[in-house]
């Protein structure tokens, strides 16, 4: 049904179908109102499309975290520094808290705390476990081995997303996890054969760090999605409370003053490098949190994992260390797992699809009883 009408200018307006359906609802929100604000520090990415946001975040993650990895390994090349991994974590948490406070103070619009304090108490504990155990593991492991463990963060993230958020995953996700576990095992075996610094205790430390890291990604995603908290709030409370935790622990164990005494002997190589290390890490965290908010924890983990693969290659270039071809093969298996994880986000393959495909293949390979009897009947008639 079409209805014609003339407007004030004398031109004819034709309505196709029900005239009322051609009008937007009075209370319908505009496209701009529907957009969720996406900001990294003071850069507003709200009006960029999803692909552009993703690419900008990826570029930021690669640049900042490559600098982060370089400075971290450089700090641990200082003679005598390896026992002070937890003190480095304390300094890092202090810098992060200051950076977050400065950023929040410069904002024109003050927003009250969004996420409940009990959630931050848990996040601070997990953050302390992740970064403290990771930093300490460098005293017992080759740097590429530590990074290859971090590359397999997708495995605990996958398990955590199922347990914490109740997400469902397809067969490619689980196949990716298997490939990563296999590559990680082979890489660790290769490192134990050629690296003079290999210590199984380091494997335990980095494994515990990964478990905390997997829980962090999923708890952060759930909390930020439910409470719409800004990035700097998450950083201030997570690292500020974590700094209090670690200060008390190190004070009670007597490691606080020994760490200060050692670092005061080499202020540039410790506090100075730690500043650059922390600044690049802080900016990287802002981008990763934005990536988690816009794309989800598994895809954010995929991007950071790909960055770690590049970090491993650059580590062999900038810092001399033993190399074996087994590093390459096992690393490629891990890369295959990363690719399968990325591909699974596009293919949407399910276990039901695999079951139907297997049934079709089975029917083609194995003749059915009904089909064989009908064939015999036709032969008899002939």
Give the pLDDT confidence of 106-119 residue by residue, as tens digits. 876 777 788 888 88
pTM of the prediction? 0.69
The rounded percent of the chain whose pLDDT value lies above 90 is: 18
Flag the least confident range among 63-67, 170-174, 262-266: 170-174
Per-residue confidence band for 262, with pLDDT thresholds at 50, 70 and 90:
very high
Name the most confidently modeled range: 6-20, 51-65, 246-260, 359-373.
246-260
As a whole number, the mean pLDDT across the chain is 77
Model pLDDT, residue 158: 76
Tell me which of 283 and 302 has the higher pLDDT: 283
Flag the least confident range among 208-222, 241-255, 281-295, 361-375: 361-375
Name the most confidently modeled range: 74-78, 156-160, 239-243, 319-323.
239-243
Identify the H or E element spanning 43.
strand 43-44
The rounded distance, in Å, linking the Cα atoms of 185 and 216 is 24
Within 8 A by CB and 6+ apart from 380, the residues are: none
Contact criterion met (CB below 8 Å) for 141 and 199: yes
The rounded percent of the chain whose pLDDT value lies above 70 is: 80
Flag the least confident range among 81-95, 202-216, 284-298, 364-378: 364-378
Whether residue 153 has pLDDT greater than 70: yes
Whether residue 379 has pLDDT greater than 50: no
Flag the least confident range among 34-38, 248-252, 281-285: 34-38
Whether residue 87 has pLDDT greater than 90: yes
Model pLDDT, residue 161: 73
Q: What is the CA radius of gyration of the chain?
A: 27
Per-residue confidence band for 375, with pLDDT thresholds at 50, 70 and 90:
very low
- The string of DSSP codes covering 112-155 is ---S-HHHHHHHHHHHHHHHHHHHHHTTTS-HHHHHHHHHTTHH
Whether residue 249 has pLDDT greater than 90: yes
Whether residue 289 has pLDDT greater than 50: yes
Beta-carbon-side half-sphere exposure of residue 332 (alpha carbons within 13 Å): 4
Q: Report, as an integer, the average pLDDT of 250-267.
A: 91
Tell me which of 192 and 331 has the higher pLDDT: 331
């Amino acid at each position: 049904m079409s209805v014609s009408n003339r407007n004030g200018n004398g031109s004819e307006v034709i309505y196709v179908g029900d005239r009322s359906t051609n009008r937007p609802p009075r209370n319908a929100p505009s496209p701009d109102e529907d957009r969720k604000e996406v900001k990294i520090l003071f850069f507003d990415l709200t009006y960029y499309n999803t692909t552009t946001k993703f690419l900008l975040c990826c570029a930021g993650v690669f640049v900042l975290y490559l600098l982060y990895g370089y400075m971290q390994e450089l700090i641990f090349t200082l003679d005598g520094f390896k026992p002070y991994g937890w003190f480095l974590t304390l300094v890092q948490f202090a810098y992060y808290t200051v950076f977050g406070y400065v950023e929040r103070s410069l904002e024109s619009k003050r927003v009250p705390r969004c996420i409940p304090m009990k959630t931050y108490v848990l996040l601070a504990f997990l953050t302390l476990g992740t970064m403290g155990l990771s930093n300490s593991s460098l005293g017992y492991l080759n740097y590429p081995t530590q990074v290859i463990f971090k590359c397999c963060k997708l495995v605990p993230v996958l398990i955590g997303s199922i347990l914490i958020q109740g997400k469902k995953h397809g067969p490619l996700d689980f196949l990716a996890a298997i490939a990563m576990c296999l590559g990680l095992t082979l890489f660790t075996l290769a490192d134990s054969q050629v690296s003079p610094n290999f210590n199984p205790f380091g494997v335990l430390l980095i494994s515990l760090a990964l478990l905390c890291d997997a829980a962090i990604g999923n708890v952060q995603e759930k909390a930020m999605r439910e409470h719409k908290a800004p990035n700097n709030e998450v950083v201030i409370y997570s690292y500020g409370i974590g700094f209090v935790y670690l200060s008390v622990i190190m004070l009670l164990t007597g490691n606080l003053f020994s760490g200060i005494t050692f670092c005061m002997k080499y202020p540039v190589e410790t506090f100075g490098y730690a500043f650059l290390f922390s600044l690049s890490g802080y900016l990287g965290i802002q981008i990763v949190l934005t990536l988690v908010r816009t794309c989800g924890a598994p895809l954010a983990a995929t991007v950071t994992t790909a960055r770690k693969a590049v970090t491993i290659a650059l580590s062999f270039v900038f810092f001399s260390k033993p190399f074996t071809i087994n590093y390459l093969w096992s690393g490629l298996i891990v890369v295959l797992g990363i690719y399968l994880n990325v591909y699974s986000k596009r293919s949407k393959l399910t276990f039901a699809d695999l079951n139907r495909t297997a049934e079709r293949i089975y029917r083609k390979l194995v003749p059915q009883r009904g089909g064989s009897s009908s064939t015999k009947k036709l032969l008899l008639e002939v």
